[in-house]
Amino acid sequence: MQSKFSDIELIEQTLQGNQAAYADLVKRHQRFVFTLAMRFTKTREDAEEVAQDSFIKAYRSLQSFQGQSKFSTWLYSIVYTTAMTFLRKRRLDTSSIDDANNHLQLENQSGGFKNDLAENKSRSYYVNQAIEQLMPDDAMIITLFYKGEQSLEEIAVTLGLEPNNVKVKLFRARQRLKEKLERNLKHEVSELI
C-alpha cells in the first residue's frame, strides 16, 4: 500500500529518524528507479545493484536535498551518476572479454527472435525490446520523458544538460527508437512468412 504522505513529508520524517518513512519512499519510486537502471545495465541483477546503491546514496545525502526540485528529479540524477559509474567500472573490468561478450549477445538476440516467434507478443513488448537496443542515454531520456513525469527542464537537471539540448536529444532518441522498432517488426514479419 502506498503511503498517504507526500515525498517531502516522508523525507522530513526520515530525517527525524523514522526509517519506515524512507521505506515508503523506496516503495514509491523503486519501479521507476529499477527501470532506469535496467536501461543502462540491461540485466536484472546489475539493475538491482545500481537501484539499491542509488537508494542508499540518496539516504546518505538526504540532508543535502534542498527541496528546490522534485525529489524524483534529485533521485533520478543520483541513479544516472550511479549507473554511469557502474558502466565505467564494468567497462574497465571486462574490456578484455568485450568482443566475446558482444558476439554472445548478438547470437542470443537472434536466437531469442526465433524462439519467441510462436508467442503472441503485445506492441508494448516490441517497444520495450527496441528501447533495450538503444544507447543508455537515449533510453533514459525517453523513459524519463514518458514514464518519469519529467519535463524537459527537469530532465536537463537530471542529466546536467541544457533544456534545448535535451529537446534535440529526445527528438533523435525517438527517431532511433522508431527505426529500431520498424526494423524489429519487419524482421519478425519476414521470419513468420
- Minimum CB distance to another protein smaller for 17 or for 92: 17
Residue 113 near residue 190, CB atoms below 8 Å:
no
Smallest distance, another protein to C-beta of residue 95, A: 27
Smallest distance, another protein to C-beta of residue 32, A: 6
Question: Would you tell me which residues interact with another protein (CB under 8 A)?
Answer: 19, 22-23, 26-27, 30-32, 34-35, 38, 44, 47-48, 51-52, 55-56, 59, 123-124, 127-128, 131, 142-143, 146-147, 152, 167, 171, 174-175, 177-178, 181
Smallest distance, another protein to C-beta of residue 142, A: 7
Smallest distance, another protein to C-beta of residue 96, A: 30
- Minimum CB distance to another protein smaller for 31 or for 186: 31
Angle (CA) 126-130-133 rounded to 5° is 145
Q: Give the DSSP per-residue string, 53-74.
A: HHHHHHHHTGGG--SSS-HHHH
Residue 142 near residue 134, CB atoms below 8 Å:
yes
Smallest distance, another protein to C-beta of residue 30, A: 5
Residue 151 backbone zone (phi > 0: left; psi -120 to 50: alpha; other: beta): beta
- Minimum CB distance to another protein smaller for 29 or for 73: 29
Q: Where are the beta strands (DSSP E) in 9-145?
A: none
- Minimum CB distance to another protein smaller for 45 or for 93: 45
- Minimum CB distance to another protein smaller for 52 or for 165: 52
181-186: list long-range contacts, CB under 8 Å, 24+ apart.
Answer: 181/126, 181/127, 181/130, 184/126, 184/129, 184/130, 184/133, 185/126
Nine cell digits for residue 114: 526465433
